[in-house]
Chains A and B, each alone.
Chain A
Amino acid sequence: MLNINDILETINMIREENLDIRTITMGISLIDCAGDDINAVCDRVYDKITTKAARLVSVGDDIEKQYGIPIVNRRVAVTPISILGGRFSSEDYIKLAKTLDRAADTLGINFIGGYGALVQKGCTVGDEQLIESIPYALAETERVCSSINVASTKAGINMDAIRKMGDIIVKTAALTADRDSIGCAKFVVFANVPEDNPFMAGAFHGVSEPECVVSVGVSGPGAVASAISRVGDCDLTAIAETVKKTAFKITRVGQLVAFEAAKRLGVPFGIVDLSLAPTPAIGDSVAHILENMGLETCGCPGTTAALALLNDAVKKGGVMASSHVGGLSGAFIPVSEDAGMIHAARIGALTLEKLEAMTAVCSVGLDMIAIPGDTPAATICGIIADEISIGVANTKTTAVRVIPAVGKKVGDEVVFGGLLGSAPIMPVNTYSPAKFIARGGRIPAPIHSLKN
Chain B
Amino acid sequence: MKAVITVTGKDNVGIVAKVATECSSMGANIIDISQSVLREYFAMIVLVDIDGLSCAFGDFVDKMSALGDANGLRIATMHEDIFNSMHRI
Interface residues of chain A, those whose CB is within 8 Å of chain B, are 1-4, 6-11, 62, 65-69, 249, 252-253, 255-256
Contact = CB atoms under 8 A, between A and B. Distances in A.
A252 B84 CA distance: 9
Nearest to B62: A65
Interface of B: 4, 6, 32, 34, 45, 47, 57-58, 61-62, 76-87
B85 A11 contact: no
Given A4-B34, A65-B62, 7 more contacts: A2-B80, A6-B87, A10-B83, A65-B61, A69-B82, A252-B86, A253-B82
A269 to B, nearest CB: 14
Contacts of B83: 2, 6-7, 10
A256 B61 contact: no
A292 to B, nearest CB: 21
A252 B86 CA distance: 5
A68 B83 CA distance: 11
B80 A68 contact: no
B53 to A, nearest CB: 12
A256 B82 contact: yes
A118 B78 CA distance: 43
A253 B87 contact: no
A68 B62 CA distance: 11
A67 B78 contact: yes
Nearest to B87: A6
Contacts of B80: 2
Nearest to A250: B86
B87 A68 contact: no
Contact of B79 (A4, A8, A11, A67): A67
Given A11-B76, A67-B81, A68-B76, A6 B86 contact: yes
B86 A10 contact: yes
B61 A68 contact: yes
A45 B62 CA distance: 37
A2 B58 contact: no
A104 to B, nearest CB: 25
A66 B77 CA distance: 8
A69 B86 CA distance: 12
Given A62-B58, A66-B79, A2 B86 contact: no
Given A11-B6, A66-B57, A253 B78 contact: no
A2 B78 contact: no
Contacts of A1: 32
Contacts of B58: 62, 65-66
Contacts of B82: 10, 67-69, 253, 256
B32 to A, nearest CB: 8
A7 B85 CA distance: 11
Contacts of A256: 81-82, 85
Contacts of B81: 67, 256
The 7 closest A-B pairs by CB, nearest first: A68-B78, A6-B87, A67-B82, A256-B85, A252-B85, A249-B86, A65-B58
Nearest to A255: B85
A147 to B, nearest CB: 32
Contacts of B6: 7-8, 11
B79 A2 contact: no
